Chains A and B, each alone.
Chain A
Amino acid sequence: MANATTSGRLNRFKAMEFVVGILLFGTICLAVLFAPLLFPDGGTKIDLAARLTAPFQSFAHVLGTDPLGRDVLARVVTGGKVSLVVGFASVVGSIFVGVAMGLVAGYYRGAWDALLMRFVDVQLALPFILLAITFFAILGGSLINTIVLLIVSQCVQYARLVRGSVLSLREREFILSARAIGVADRNIILRHLLPNLLGPVIVLATLNFANNILLESSLTFLGLGVDPTIPSWGGMLADARTYLQTAWWVSVFPGLAILLTVLGLNLLGDWLRDSLDPTGRTSR
């Protein structure tokens, strides 16, 4: 019943989402990848004579300098590595752990399933940030620990998604017939179930990548996550708080970098969800 102009407009909008998303995320990834070439000193060079240069004033410091005279642009580009590495590694880890948990719980049901669902309940009742406070109080903050914490807290989402899909898939004819002709459980799971779960998992992974960057930066901002001496977006924003009155740019640009990276990923995730969802429920 949807008329042609409405769906035409929606399609154009979706195409725009993809283009803008890939441009934003792609540019930032490239910049971070080539940061060592673009800024060989990694934004660590201290130049007190040029301290607190305002942005767009000098060609040498396009985005200005911080209270120690370090170039803000160099630090923003170099600092992106932490967020991208943590985001990517935690998503890959969560996929492995979460998909395995969801497959076992959904396919075998029983005790595994009950255990998983109670784990989900507990996890829903414990806000991420409180879990993080306790976790870092025990293990201390580091890049690896931040990744581990994100995997522990986020894998449940994949487990729930996969469990739900498996519950409906396992009653479908092609699975039932594979079982009837005696295909081993392992092969049913790997060859028949897994390929059917790929789409939703990829969508979740993209959106989760975006969210993990947000979580990592807030942990580092709070002084929990990554080592504060490594340049990172969250860490720069924490340092910048003291200079909010005098140097707004030190607070603005690292945050803008987070916003644009996450926005790029969210746009891509949104586009993927619409493209992989044949019913078009979400895009109507």
Chain B
Amino acid sequence: MEVIKTEGLTKYYGKVTGVRDLNLSIHSGEIFGFLGPNGAGKTTTMRLLVGLLRPSAGKAYVLGKDSWSKRVEIARDTGYLPGETRLYARLTGIEHINFVAGFGHADRSFALKLASRFELDLNRRTEEYSRGMKQQLALILALMKRPRILIMDEPTSGLDPLMQYLLYEILNDFRDNGTTIMLSSHNLPEVERVCNRVGIIKDGSLVAVESIEDLRNKRIRNIEVTFENGIPPQLETIAGIIEIEMSANRARIKTSGNLNPLIALLSKHRISDLSISHASLEDVFIEFYEKGRDEPYV
């Protein structure tokens, strides 16, 4: 069942394009990652979905309802985390929770449990909060409705690794309870960790929608290896290598897909140094989406 759907969704800010002709479909119970560099249109799409922005053209539907004209009905079933955490500076954490609970459709005691999991002090004014604490409170405000849909713009922004891990756990709990989650990020490993499917947006247009499995197969890694006894000649013949740069005993390799053949070859030689890093999202765009999807990349 489709719970979020857009049809030719377009938003212009004057002459600037926010998103253009976006066709998206997110199904019940999935965690959908919305990937793209800064300014790609992720935040605009999310604001359109929760009825904060009015589409210039096209339509967005959440739970089958028009996101602009039925925004209040949608808000009852949707938790929204804005991209930039802005809270009422003079209110304390608990006053924020009481305020959101006061609109109904939210569970105050659940919010307190979440605050306890985040170990967040609710008795301080938010002007005294660190960036991470503000993000935690904003997350609690979005989650406390126990919504059917969660729309979260960069949810791990400002969180330390421990809190990020806790958030992933919480999101998995929500998904297990049937919540559909759409989250944006510009961090590929994060999206791989929690999402089922990914939409990639660039310059306001959706360039691809992939399952995580497909994305993993396409994943680019940068490997730098230093051999003790020279570079083996078979290295260049390994499948999946996109680019290789060799100097003396050191090889810089850009590869995608299955790493096992490369590892098997490396295991047969003495190595003095090895580093593997994930390519940046920009590299993924350049390799897969700017060259054109049908173009072979090996």
Partners in one complex: no
Residues on A facing B (Cβ under 8 Å): none
Residues on B facing A (Cβ under 8 Å): none
